[in-house]
Chains A and B, each alone.
Chain A
Amino acid sequence: MTEEAVPLDGNAAAGPLAALFAVEPTTIMITCEGCGREGALATLKLYGGAMGLILRCPECDTANLRFSDAGTRATVDLRGSTRLTLSGAKPRR
Chain B
Amino acid sequence: MTPTHLPWRIATVAAAKPESARAKAILLDVPGWPGHLAGQHLDLRLTADDGYQAQRSYSISSAPAGEPQLEITVERVDDGEVSPFLLDELREGDPLELRGPIGGYFTWVPGDGGPLLLVGGGSGVAPLMAMLRARTRSGDRTPVRLLYSARTVDELLYRAELDRLADEADGFELIATLTRGAPEGWTGEQGRIGREMLAARGFPPEERPRIFVCGPTPFVEACADALVALGHEGGRIKTERFGPTGDLK
Binding site for B on A (CB under 8 A): 1, 3, 5-12, 14-15, 18-20, 22, 24, 26-27, 40-43, 46-50, 52-54, 69, 71-74, 92-93
**Nearest A residue to B64 by beta-carbon distance?**
A93
Q: Pick the contact of A5 from B2, B107, B238, B249 — CB < 8 Å?
A: B249
Q: Which residues of A contact B239 (CB under 8 A)?
A: 9, 43
Which residues 1-26 of B have a CB within 8 angstroms of A? Answer: 1-3, 5-6
Instruction: Please indicate the chain B residues that have their CB under 8 angstroms from the CB of A24 in the complex.
Output: 103-104
Q: Mark B71-109, 1 if CB is under 8 A from A, else 0.
A: 000000000000000000000000000011011111101
Task: List residues of B (227-249) whose CB comes within 8 Å of A's CBs.
Answer: 238-249
Task: List the A side residues contacting B66 at CB < 8 Å.
Answer: none
Contact of B246 among A11, A15, A46, A52 (CB under 8 A): A46
Contact (A6, B35) CB under 8 Å given A14-B102, A42-B105 = no
Q: Does B104 lie within 8 Å of A49, measured CB to CB? A: no
Chain B contacts to A: CB under 8 angstroms: 1-3, 5-6, 34-35, 37, 41, 43, 55, 57, 99-100, 102-107, 109, 216-218, 238-249
Which one of B5, B34, B35 has the highest number of Cβ atoms from chain A below 10 Å of its Cβ?
B5
* Interface of A (DSSP majority class): mixed
Contact B2 A1 (CB under 8 A): no
CB pair A19 B248 closer than 8 Å: no
B37–A6 contact, CB under 8 A?
A: no
- Known interface pairs A11-B41, A12-B57, A92-B104. Does A6 touch B6 (Cβ–Cβ under 8 Å)? no
Name 24 interchain pairs, CB-CB below 8 A, sorted by A.
A5-B246, A5-B249, A6-B243, A7-B217, A7-B241, A8-B242, A8-B243, A9-B240, A11-B106, A11-B241, A12-B245, A15-B6, A18-B3, A19-B2, A24-B104, A42-B238, A46-B245, A46-B246, A47-B247, A47-B248, A69-B1, A71-B1, A92-B109, A93-B34
**Is B5's CB under 8 angstroms from A26's CB?**
no
Cα-based distance from A22 to B6 in the complex (angstroms)? 9
A11 contacts B5, C-beta separation under 8 Å: no
